[in-house]
């Protein structure tokens, strides 16, 4: 089994008004967090917790999430919308003389 490095994951630190502390988060492990009085300590804490989680998962043979940064993305995904939304977007695209794909991509990029 390939050893995954916990420093390749997607980390974020934000302020928690409820807790009155900074909270460290990891996108690939949404159930984990770490509270600390400084952003640096919150980042160190969440990285440590994720590293321990990865080690435990590897040890027990569980599937470890692949870091977002190392995944390959095709640039394609399917979105289901109500028929009336589809019709409205198709009309907007036709009026703008662009494809529905180009219109949707522009709207998602904003």
Domains contained in the chain, CATH given: 6-70 (3.30.160), 73-110 (no CATH)
Q: What percent of the chain has pLDDT over 70?
A: 95
- Average pLDDT of the segment spanning 8-28: 97
Q: Cβ atoms within 10 A of the Cβ of 32, count?
A: 15
- Average pLDDT of the segment spanning 10-29: 98
User: What is the band of 24 on the pLDDT scale with cuts at 50, 70, 90?
Assistant: very high
- Cα torsion for 36, 39, 42, 44, to the nearest 10°? -130
Query: What pLDDT is stored for residue 2 in this prediction?
Result: 53
Q: What is the pLDDT of residues 37-85, one digit of tens each?
A: 999 999 999 999 999 999 999 999 999 999 999 999 999 999 999 999 9
Residues in the chain: 110
State how far the Cα of 68 lies from the Cα of 66, in Å rounded to an integer: 6
Strand residue runs (E) in 1-110: 11-16, 21-26, 33-36
CB 12 within 8 A of CB 27: yes
CB 93 within 8 A of CB 102: yes
Look at residue 1 and tell me whether its pLDDT is greater than 50. Answer: no
């Amino acid at each position: 089994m390939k050893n995954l490095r916990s420093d390749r994951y997607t980390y974020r630190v934000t302020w928690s008004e409820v807790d009155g502390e900074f909270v460290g988060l990891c996108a690939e492990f949404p159930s984990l967090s770490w509270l600390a009085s400084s952003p640096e300590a919150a980042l160190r804490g969440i990285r440590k917790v994720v590293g321990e989680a990865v080690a435990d998962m590897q040890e027990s043979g569980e599937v470890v999430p692949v870091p977002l940064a190392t995944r390959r993305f095709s640039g394609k995904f399917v979105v289901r919308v109500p028929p009336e939304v589809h019709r409205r977007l198709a009309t907007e695209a036709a009026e703008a003389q662009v494809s529905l794909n180009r219109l949707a991509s522009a709207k998602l990029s904003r």
